[in-house]
Amino acid sequence: MGELPTFLSSGERARLFPVLADTSREGRATSIFLACLANVREFADELLSSVGRGIGINSKVSTYTEICFSNSSSKTKFRPDGLINVETGRARWSALVESKIGNAELSRDQIESYLKLARENDINAVITISNQHATSAADHPVKIDGKLLGKTTLYHWSWMDILTTADLLLSNGRVEDREQKIMLNEFRRFLSHDSTGVRGFDRMPPEWPALIGDINAGAQINPQSDLLKAVVRAWHLELRDLSLILSRQIGVPVSVKLSKQEARHPADRLKNDCVAFCNTQCLSACLTIPEAAADIEITIDVRSRTLAAGAKLIAPLDRKSTSARLNWLLRQISEVSPKDVFVRVHWPRRGYTQYPLEDLRHSLDRVISEHSDLVPMALEVLMVNRTERRFAQVSKFVEDIEKLVPTFYGLIGSKLKAWQPSAPSIRPERNESSDVSTEAIYEDAEEAVAELSEPTADEPSKKKFWF
């Protein structure tokens, strides 16, 4: 079995084929996961990096289940599901693991008990795993007394986080060893099967229809309202799940665009978005996709019950007329069905005007005539979904968002190309290297001095500079 960490009196290496009762879905999933973590290096590096512990080439990862501690003053009925131990030279990092599956949720008392246990045994972290969702590994879904943390950090992975990590590694061919690739693929297959009980974020909280009712009744919403905070927090979780869905569909890591401050402090993000909602009655977000021409901007307008996904491009500056700039965009989406698709034309100093794609294709002259003195500075394509009853339903709303955004990206966002200025060319009068020698540049400078010294026909003679 190998040497146990000194703080354990007993424990089993995590098994790929655990011998457990049929009813122990949780124990089986945890053991298989920890076995893969210990044996697939790229998988361990990717997941452990999210909790601030990437592994080096000389690191050794060991994982255990059925653990018992050598000594503990804590009187607790709880026992962690597992342990992750990373040794790099003489340095050691370890984390207790507690997992739930299906509809089971993490218990605050249980987590606080493990934090005390970790502190007593000089264990660096406690990692929880469940179908509960978080915006990042550091943003735990269960609120814990901060005094219990100290040097021990608390992290959370959803099962969907873990499944997406495995899927991306395999999709992008990042697992080099053939046997490890087979192992991780079997784990992916196991975890994605319905019987395992893994699920994504699939419903808004009960506060969602209540908030919609208040808005429709004309109520003033306070940014500090618990009702609003619950909805915005759920919106953040849905965005995280949506980014995981797109990541698996596209094969690259999709992320929610945040400021550095909001990424470090989820409470600031929650506060900012609550204030923004009170000002606009909209939930909004931006998803970043590597190599895409533009971010995907999502807007949920509660008052009008509409969902919109769009992408905004800078207009091509080398095209001088409005028609040339609009045709540049229209050619890119020439095969897109106009149903529910709109184009926003952003004008300097005048905001934007919005047109159905079908109208723009057939009435371009009208747009040009309406703004004959301006040319667009940016062009935006949107797909809009107007819903009524479904909008207020906690599960249907999530279904519609998770359908709209991937559809928009697949049909439109992935087809867009950002404008780039042409590469500078060599000036004809400087085609040869001799044309830019010091002697040639000196002659150019002499000619320029002579030209600048002569007054033009409509300009009186000016005092010359003498050097």
Q: What is the pLDDT of residue 78?
A: 73
d(CA 342, CA 319): 22
Structure token digits, residue 129: 């795993």
- Strand pairing category for 125-130 and 153-158: parallel
Where are any strands of DSSP class E within 1-47? 8-13
Q: What is the pLDDT of residue 457?
A: 62
Q: What is the pLDDT of residue 242?
A: 97
Q: What is the pLDDT of residue 395?
A: 96
Query: In 3-state terms, what secondary structure has residue 312?
Result: strand
d(CA 304, CA 364): 28
The half-sphere exposure of 162 on its side-chain side, counting CA atoms within 13 A, is 29
Per-residue pLDDT, averaged over 355-371, amounts to 87
Per-residue pLDDT, averaged over 125-136, amounts to 95
Q: Where do runs of H (alpha helix) occur along 258-393?
A: 260-264, 266-280, 322-332, 357-362, 364-370, 389-392
Q: What is the pLDDT of residue 225?
A: 94
The answer to which of 3-12, 49-58, 336-345, 391-400 has the lowest mean pLDDT is: 3-12
The answer to which of 93-102, 138-147, 318-327, 421-430 has the lowest mean pLDDT is: 421-430
300 has pLDDT over 60: yes
Per-residue pLDDT, averaged over 439-460, amounts to 76
Which DSSP state fits 424?
Answer: P
Per-residue pLDDT reduced to its tens digit, 235-244? 999 999 999 9
* Whole-structure pTM value: 0.85
- Concatenating the DSSP letter of every residue in 165-195 gives HHHHHHHTT---SHHHHHHHHHHHHHHHSGG
pLDDT tier at 77, thresholds 50, 70, 90: low
Q: Is 369 exposed, middle or buried (0-12, 13-18, 19+ CB in 10 A)?
A: exposed
Per-residue pLDDT, averaged over 111-136, amounts to 93
Q: Number of helices (H) and strands (E), helices first, in the chain?
A: 15, 13
Query: What is the CA 127 to chain-centroid distance, rounded?
Result: 21
Per-residue pLDDT reduced to its tens digit, 170-183? 999 999 999 999 99
79 has pLDDT over 90: no
Q: What is the pLDDT of residue 35?
A: 97
Per-residue pLDDT reduced to its tens digit, 243-294? 999 999 999 999 999 999 998 888 999 999 999 999 999 999 999 999 999 9
Residue ranges covered by each domain of the chain: 8-196, 207-415, 425-455
Per-residue pLDDT reduced to its tens digit, 88-103? 988 999 999 999 999 9
2 has pLDDT over 80: no
Closest to 247 measured CA to CA, from 283, 284, 292: 292
